[in-house]
Amino acid sequence: MTVVKTNEWLEQSADHLKICERLKPYFHENNPEDISKYLHAFGMFRGEQTGQSLYSNLKKNKVWEFVKSDEAFLKKEWGGPDVPIFILPADAGNRKMRNEFGGKSGLAFHDKLFLFLSDNSKKEIQVILTHEYHHVCRLAKDPKKEKDYTLIDAVILEGLAENAVRERMGEEFAGSWTKRYSKEQISQFYQSIIEPNQDLKRDSRKFSQLMFGTGFYPKMLGYAAGYHIVKCYMEMTKTNIKDLFAVSSDEIVKKSLIKPN
């Protein structure tokens, strides 16, 4: 992986459109406005003043140097691919990101990774980097292509990444959604909500509703279900997270016993 020197970009300007202009080569034909809109949806900062303020904190805490060191550890540990990592200030006004994700978020593709950070501790940065880089590894090693991913694939993708956090950092560092429901509740949710919709594709509006638990669905449903399914599979099969990069979603669900025989 390569930690891109977005600190130098921010030193020159914290205007999000100017930042997104620099990102054009990584998004093919997208224009800066489209890239900005997309990244805002996942937690990138909005106002220039806010971006500049958060950048000052990130610089003071030597975040770029820390991420470079930690990504080297993860790459060696998991035998993962080299991808560019972009560190940018987070959207400080995003209430959901503050409440559910501790003021940080990330976005992973098979060929790049974004970290949106605020005033986070080094442990918190390790948590989000571990989660997002696990996505990169899973997408690289899963025989199923990302464009063909269904709801259940996304549920397992998130469950694997958060179990990577649990395995590396300890259960106390796993997301708040991992503790929200009991195994019995997760089993009920899976059978009544997730399984009937497991083949939904990302272009369906219902897809994100089920993943995040918006509307009438249980909060953070897809993330919580994924965590419990993968954790149960790991306990049943005595495997660690490194063993699971290429294991299919169907196999993980089946052997997790989320659905009683």
For residues 134 and 144, give the distance between their C-alpha atoms in angstroms, rounded to a whole number.
16
Confidence band for 1, pLDDT divided at 50, 70 and 90: low
Give me the DSSP letters along 41-84. Answer: TTTB--SHHHHHHHHHHHHHTTHHHHHHHHHHHHHHHHTPPP-E
- Judge whether residue 96 has pLDDT over 90: no
List the structure tokens of 147: 């464009």
Question: What residue has token string 């992973």?
Answer: 108
Segment 69-84, tens digit of pLDDT: 999 999 999 999 999 9
Confidence band for 151, pLDDT divided at 50, 70 and 90: very high
215-226 mean pLDDT: 95
- Judge whether residue 85 has pLDDT over 90: yes
97-101, 179-183, 241-245, 253-257: which has the minimum mean pLDDT?
97-101
Query: CA angle 240-179-91, nearest 5°?
Result: 95
Per-residue pLDDT, 217: 95
Per-residue pLDDT, 98: 67
List the structure tokens of 110: 């098979």
pTM: 0.93
List the structure tokens of 103: 């003021």
For residues 50 and 25, give the distance between their C-alpha atoms in angstroms, rounded to a whole number.
25
